[in-house]
Structure 1
C-alpha cells in the first residue's frame, strides 16, 4: 500500500474520530471501515490482526454503549463547541498519558468549556456531571474505542 493510500486511510480514520462527536454520524463505523480498507489492500498478518482486534473492541464498545443511558446531550445543554473541547481533551490526554489519559482528558475538556462558559468551579462541575449522566459516557466509550483502533492502526503502519 502506497503512502497516498495510507494517508487516505488516515484521513478516513480522522473523519471517523470527528464523527463520533457529531450526532447522527457513524464515526466508529467509519474508523472500522478504514481499517478494513487498509487490511484488504495490504493483506499482511499484522493488518488482519489489527482488523480482528478492531472488530472485537468495536463490538464490545457497542455492548457497553447499549448498557449506558441513551444520548440526550442536546436537551441538557451540550453544544458543538463542547464536543470540540471534549474531543480535543480526549486526544491530548490519550497522547500525554497513553490510553488511560483519554478519560480524564475528555472530562477535562468538558469541564474547561463549562468553566469558561459559566465562570465558577461549582457550576462547571455540576454541568460536567449532568453532561456525563445524559449521554456523555456513551460518547466517551465510543471515542475511546475509536482512539484505541486508530492507535493500533498507526502502530501497525509505523511498525511495518
Structure 2
C-alpha cells in the first residue's frame, strides 16, 4: 500500500476516533472498515494479525460499553425511560446548537425526566449526574477499543 493510501486509512481512523467522542459518525465502524481495507490491500501475516487484534479490541469494548455502565445505572435506579428522553432531547439539541447541543440536550432531557419522577431538584440532579457518568464511562470504554485498534495499525505501519 502506498504512503498516500496509508495516510487516507489513518485519516479514516482519526475521523472514527472523533466519531466516538462526538457521536455524529459511526466511529467504531469507520475504524473497523479502515483497518479491514488496509489489511485486505496490504495482505500478509502482520496486516491480518493487526486486523484480528483490532476486531477483538472493538468487539470486547463494544460489549463492555453496554454492560458495565448499564449495571451502574441499574444500581443507581435510573430508568431507561429517562435515558431515552435524554437521548431524544440531545438529538434535537444537536440540531439547535451544533455539537454541544447534543450534550446540553441530553442533560436537559435527563433532568426534566428525573425531576418529573423524583419531584425534588436534589434527587433529579443526582440521577442526571449518574446517567452522565454512565454515558461518559461508555464513551471512554469505546474510545479505549478504538485507540487499541488504531495503535495496533499505527505500530504495524510504522515498524513493518
Per the shorter chain, which TM-score range?
0.5 to 0.7
Quote the Cα distance in structure 1 between the aligned partners of 2:101 and 2:140. Answer: 13
- C-alpha distance in 2 between matches for 1:60 and 1:82: 30
Paired residues of 1:73 and 1:131 also in contact (CA < 8 A):
no
1:64 paired residue number: 64
Asked if the contact 1:65–1:138 (Cα under 8 Å) also holds between the matched residues in 2, the reply is yes
TM-score by length of 1: 0.62
Instruction: Tell me by how many angstroms 1:72 deviates.
Output: 4.5
What is the root-mean-square deviation of aligned Cα atoms in Å? 3.0
Match of 1:32 in 2: 32
> Where does structure 1 differ by over 4 angstroms across 4 or more consecutive aligned residues?
70-74, 126-130
Cα deviation 1:57-78 (Å, max 9, x = unaligned)? 11111111220238949949x8
Within-5 A mapping of 1:123-138: 131-133=132-134, 135-138=135-138
What is the alpha-carbon distance in structure 1 between the residues aligned to residue 101 and residue 131 of structure 2? 13
Residues 21-60 of structure 1: per-residue CA shift (max 9 Å, x gap) = 2335210110011000100000021110000111111111
**Higher Cα Rg: structure 1 or 2?**
2
Aligned length, in residue pairs: 117
Asked if the contact 1:20/1:143 (under 8 Å) is kept, the reply is yes
Identify if the C-alpha distance between structure 1 residues 82 and 48 changes in structure 2 by more than 3 Å, giving closer, same or farther.
farther
Question: 1:43 maps to what in 2?
Answer: 43
Structure 1 stretches lacking a partner, 5+ long: 84-125
* Cα distance in 2 between the residues matched to 1:35 and 1:81: 29
Q: Which residue number corresponds to residue 159 of structure 1? A: 159
Q: Which residue does 2:150 correspond to in 1?
A: 150
| Pairing 1:112-131 to 2, within 5 Å after superposition | 131=132
TM-score scaled by length of structure 2: 0.62
